[in-house]
Amino acid sequence: MKKPSLHPFLINILSLGVFSAAIISYLEIHYLLRSALLMTLIHLLAFILHRKIVKPIRELTQVADLMTKWDSKARMPTGQNWEISRLAEFSNLMLERMRLSIERYRENRDELQLILSSIEDALWVQDTSGKIELSNPVFKRLFLLHEEEQNAYCWEVIREPGILRIIQEISTGQTPRISEVSLENVQYLISASVNKEAGKVIFIMQNIDDIKAAERMKKDFIMNVAHELRTPLTAIHGFAEVLSDETDIMRMRYLNIIKSHTERLINMVSDLEDLTKLERAPKLDIQDVNLTTFIQNIHSLYETRLAEHKLNLDIHINPPNLRASFDPYRMEQVMINLLDNALRYTKQGGIIINLHKENGQLIIEISDTGSGIEEKHLSRVFERFYTVDQSRARSRSGTGLGLAIAKHIVQSHGGNISVTSTHGKGTTFLIKLP
């Protein structure tokens, strides 16, 4: 019995289905391959675009960010094959110019800071509204200006009404102004320059206390000279008038008085001439001096006077063979002036002289047990004709120039002299010579 066979139509249908499936499968594989290839090309193109465009732009953005932070060392990478390379070159050129500008700015800033810090007077700059834009260290110390107050207004920093009034008058004026003010018992001279184009005002506040003190010293000096000369001259004139009317005994007494005052005038003129020479840079005869011999010579000059006053003179030289280099004649003047001063105001006790070396300096210390000097006079004892005794009744006929001469001699040796004293207990003069 024959097997039943498929109908030819069914066979054709199956064959067509198989063929269609094969075609579809082929098309799907081809599409997938093309899709994969397309995706690969897209990724490759994206990589190329990122490398050629996005990455350089990102690097340029990073460099621009560094530029905003004033990093002048930042640079764009060069060697690109596209227009980004030109942009990188321009950017690097701009960065190099910026670096040079920053360096010049820093140099100018450092120079300005150096100039401002070297100015010993208070200096500040403010705009027309009164805001402080620049100030030097002296101004900051004077008005206690803190860093966080750099851009403060002047009236927020300066509390003195007189200074603020002057600042206001100068700022609104048309010409520079100069005025004197007082701050905490110190005299200042305020000068200002107005720059209308820049809208700035530059102020300088100069301490003129030393100038004022010099003016006072000059006036006092003239008054003291007039007083010192008037007293002996009046005495000479008066006694000379009556000399012819008196007996021989009285005549001799008056002549002695005239002689005493005349000698004082001669000594005063001599000291003034000596002081003038010292002020004109005297020529010193520097020698190697044995200090023991030097002090013994001075001691011999005062033995009689010390005995008359019943005063002791103690000398301490450490070590005993101590030597130093100075002009012995000039330094002898210093010692004589200081010892005369000590004898003049010491009634009991004595005088002590100490000599030693310390830190490469010769230290000479002369102390007495006299009446001492009040603290208010200590800063002026080296002035010409200045006397602690306001009645000017000296126990001995000093000229009032001894301490001034001593100071100039010590300073001409490159040293300094100072004084300390306790009223009623004594005085100490300290000399330091290199």
Say which CATH number the domain at 234 has: 1.10.287.130
Contact in structure between 372 and 426 (CB atoms under 8 Å): yes
pLDDT band per the 50, 70, 90 thresholds, residue 275: low
What is the rounded CA–CA span in Å between residue 5 and residue 396? 168
Same domain, 348 and 382: yes
The total number of structural domains in the chain stands at: 3
- Give the strand pairing for 312-318 and 350-358: parallel
Query: What residues make up the domain containing 190?
Result: 119-207
Same domain, 314 and 421: yes
Residue ending a domain, choose from 172, 207, 242: 207
Same domain, 316 and 428: yes
Same domain, 303 and 409: yes
Fill in the DSSP letter of residue 2.
Answer: P
Give the pLDDT mean for 206-225.
Answer: 74
Q: Which tens digits make up the pLDDT trace of 340-387? A: 888 888 888 889 999 999 888 999 999 999 888 888 878 778 877 766
Same domain, 293 and 426: yes
What is the rounded CA–CA span in Å between residue 410 and residue 434? 10
Name which of 38-42, 124-128, 183-187, 345-349 the model is least confident about: 38-42
Say which CATH number the domain at 126 has: 3.30.450.20
SS3 at position 133: strand
Q: Is the pLDDT of residue 171 over 80?
A: no
Length of the chain: 434
Residue ending a domain, choose from 250, 273, 296: 273
Contact in structure between 134 and 124 (CB atoms under 8 Å): yes
Look at residue 22 and tell me if it is in a domain. Answer: no
What is the rounded CA–CA span in Å between residue 234 and residue 363? 43
Look at residue 109 and tell me if it is in a domain. Answer: no
C-alpha distance from residue 165 to each of 170, 171, 183, 217 (Å): 9, 10, 14, 31
pTM attached to this predicted model = 0.49
Same domain, 328 and 426: yes
What is the rounded CA–CA span in Å between residue 116 and residue 233? 55
- Please tell me which residue, 200 or 277, carries the higher pLDDT value: 200
Name which of 22-26, 282-286, 324-328 the model is least confident about: 22-26
Retrieve residue 305's tokens.
Answer: 């006077």
Contact in structure between 225 and 217 (CB atoms under 8 Å): no
